A and B are shown apart, each in its own frame.
Chain A
Amino acid sequence: MKTPTTIFAADTAFTPLRLAGQGSGTHAAEGSGCGPSPSRAETGFVSSSSDERTQKMYRGAPDLIVSVPDKIAIEKLFSIKVSACVGKDSEAPRCIRVYAGMPMHGHGTNYKPSERKPGPGHSAFNGMLFCMPGNWNLTFDREDGGKRQQLTRKVKIGR
């Protein structure tokens, strides 16, 4: 049974992000790398319970669960929190990276976020910026030993 244990933001600019790779067998397990997220007061991120819409958005257990601010204003720095989901017998990924890019325009963001690791499998990235309205890709790299998994989510940023 899949147990959503991490919470995500739900807002008009972003759909909740539950990212699952093709054929991923990892499992969100209580007490693992996908443990309960810190509260909004602790992180500045919005928390909300998973809803029906969210449940329908992914197939299989998620590999990464991403929390984003309620509203991301263009030209304003923002932060993202990423939690890796691991099985009971697995270890948290060695490394998580995040990139933002506009595939249509062939460029990324001009800013490099700094990373803070609140715990194994959890990363908070500060200093993200969308500098242009339009369709962006948020790409997450998850690296476990020799295995690298890349997950991408499309994001539309308005003016």
Chain B
Amino acid sequence: MMYGRLLSATTSAAAALFSLVAVAGSTVSFTDDETALILAHGPWPVETAPDPSNRVSGDPAAITFGKMLFHSNDLAIDRRRSCATCHQIEKGLGDGIPRGIGIAAVDRNTMPLFNMRLNRWYGWDGKSDTLWGQSIAPILDKRELGLTPAALKSRITESPELNRGYGQVFGAAAATHDPETVLVNTAKALAAFQEILVSGKSAFDRFRDALATDETEGITTYPASAKRGLRIFLGRGRCDLCHFGPNFTNGEFHDIGLQPFLTTGRVDMGRYGGIKLLRASRYNLLGPFNDDPDRRTAGFTRHVRLTPKNLGEFRVPSLRNVSETAPYMHDGSKATLEAVVRHYSKIPEEHLRQDSEKLLRPLNLTDAEITDLVAFLKTL
């Protein structure tokens, strides 16, 4: 599926270490340690297996049906929007505005839908532990699509196309299933489609692969400014402590010192609220709709810990395709990548709680360093 940068079906060659990567055409070179860190951000794409909690994950018929559902206005109570309204291809599978607007405004920035199979938590607060569980939320949320399970069943039954697609994937007409089963099956087909939205190789990946194979042209064509930014990312910026690995995220939750209020008097609870919602949900991996009888992927859900520290924590987003997914942060408060970097450069201490990440401290970057770090981010 060609969304954003091209999808690639194969992984690159195995990584190798080099004594020193001298970068011709620029003054930037990387030490052994830096090279090892760079190589750890690939290869890309990462091979994934079907989701065992979703019996139609990877099923071509489910992917086709899921795509149909994703673009169908029948999933909205007012028939004036679909999933694709807020997850637009030309806007990095987001919507380009600070906070999403469905039937009504929502509280957070719309997350892009690239590389979803690599996540273990979904949404800014991780209230879902599966992509299909996350896909249920906007269908039911009155601010987004606003259907009830019964209304969804009616919509699918009434639509010849959707009814046919449902029957082909799930072996029976929607009319024969109870509304909750139709809801979960719909979400699982939507997940099967979203799983194939994989970002393709980026300029960084080509540079990283060139390092792995000591291919001079690929190393030299990567811009010098991006190389300097990469060095800051790995070194002084310590960005890769959270944004590491091929998907540039540790998949966990942190408080990065943003202002906590949604509106005056309303605080976004972040991960604290997310864990509570996760535990209360029937649609988590410990619930009755997990298709894997062995619950092989339920370990994180079983062991996740709820503490006051989770207040104000939000998921570390992947940085892949980040230049295409503005505005940034869970509240959409940073319009540009430069604004994001400046936040970390002059992080407001008054926004850091005593139990916040101690690694967060103002980086005090120069304008030139900010430019370099942004140049690097744009190559992801």
Using CB atoms and an 8 Å cutoff, list the residues of chain A in contact with chain B: 74-75, 77, 104-107, 109-114, 126-127, 129, 131-134, 159
Q: Does B137 contact A (CB under 8 A)?
A: no
15 A–B contacts from the bound complex (CB under 8 Å): A75-B245, A104-B359, A107-B357, A109-B305, A110-B253, A110-B305, A111-B300, A112-B304, A114-B303, A126-B299, A127-B299, A131-B252, A132-B241, A159-B240, A159-B245
Tell me if A's interface is mostly helix, strand, loop or mixed: loop
* Number of A-B residue pairs at CB separation under 8 A: 61
C-alpha gap A152/B80 in the complex (Å): 59
Contact B303 A127 (CB under 8 A): yes
Contact A107 B309 (CB under 8 A): yes
Instruction: Give every chain B residue within 8 A of A132 (Cβ-Cβ).
Output: 241-242, 250, 252
Tell me if B's interface is mostly helix, strand, loop or mixed: loop
Query: How close is A110's CB to chain B, nearest CB, in angstroms?
Result: 6
Query: How close is B130's CB to chain A, nearest CB, in angstroms?
Result: 17
Contact B359 A159 (CB under 8 A): no
Query: How close is B213's CB to chain A, nearest CB, in angstroms?
Result: 20
Find the A residue at minimum CB distance from B303: A127
Partner of B355, one of A107, A111, A126: A107
C-alpha gap A109/B310 in the complex (Å): 11
Partner of B304, one of A106, A107, A111, A133: A111
Query: How close is B81's CB to chain A, nearest CB, in angstroms?
Result: 35
Instruction: Give every chain A residue within 8 A of B253 (Cβ-Cβ).
Output: 110
Instruction: Give every chain B residue within 8 A of A134 (Cβ-Cβ).
Output: 241
C-alpha gap A16/B268 in the complex (Å): 43
Using CB atoms and an 8 Å cutoff, list the residues of chain B in contact with chain A: 37, 40, 240-242, 244-245, 250-253, 299-300, 302-305, 309-310, 355-359
Query: How close is B40's CB to chain A, nearest CB, in angstroms?
Result: 4
C-alpha gap A110/B299 in the complex (Å): 12
Contact A110 B358 (CB under 8 A): no
Partner of A112, one of B245, B251, B303, B310: B303
Query: How close is B279's CB to chain A, nearest CB, in angstroms?
Result: 13
Contact A106 B358 (CB under 8 A): yes
Contact B241 A131 (CB under 8 A): no
Contact B244 A105 (CB under 8 A): no
Instruction: Give every chain A residue within 8 A of B310 (Cβ-Cβ).
Output: 110
Known pairs A106-B357, A129-B303 / 8 extra A-B pairs, C-beta < 8 Å: A110-B253, A110-B305, A112-B303, A112-B305, A126-B303, A131-B252, A132-B242, A159-B40
C-alpha gap A75/B244 in the complex (Å): 11
C-alpha gap A111/B129 in the complex (Å): 14
Query: How close is A131's CB to chain B, nearest CB, in angstroms?
Result: 4
Query: How close is A99's CB to chain B, nearest CB, in angstroms?
Result: 11
C-alpha gap A65/B305 in the complex (Å): 26
**Quick one: which of B251, B299, B303, B359 has the most chain A CB within 10 A?**
B303
Query: How close is A154's CB to chain B, nearest CB, in angstroms?
Result: 17
Contact B303 A77 (CB under 8 A): yes
Contact A111 B303 (CB under 8 A): yes
Instruction: Give every chain B residue within 8 A of A107 (Cβ-Cβ).
Output: 309, 355, 357-358
Instruction: Give every chain B residue within 8 A of A126 (Cβ-Cβ).
Output: 299, 303
Contact A77 B300 (CB under 8 A): yes
Partner of A105, one of B245, B299, B303, B358: B358
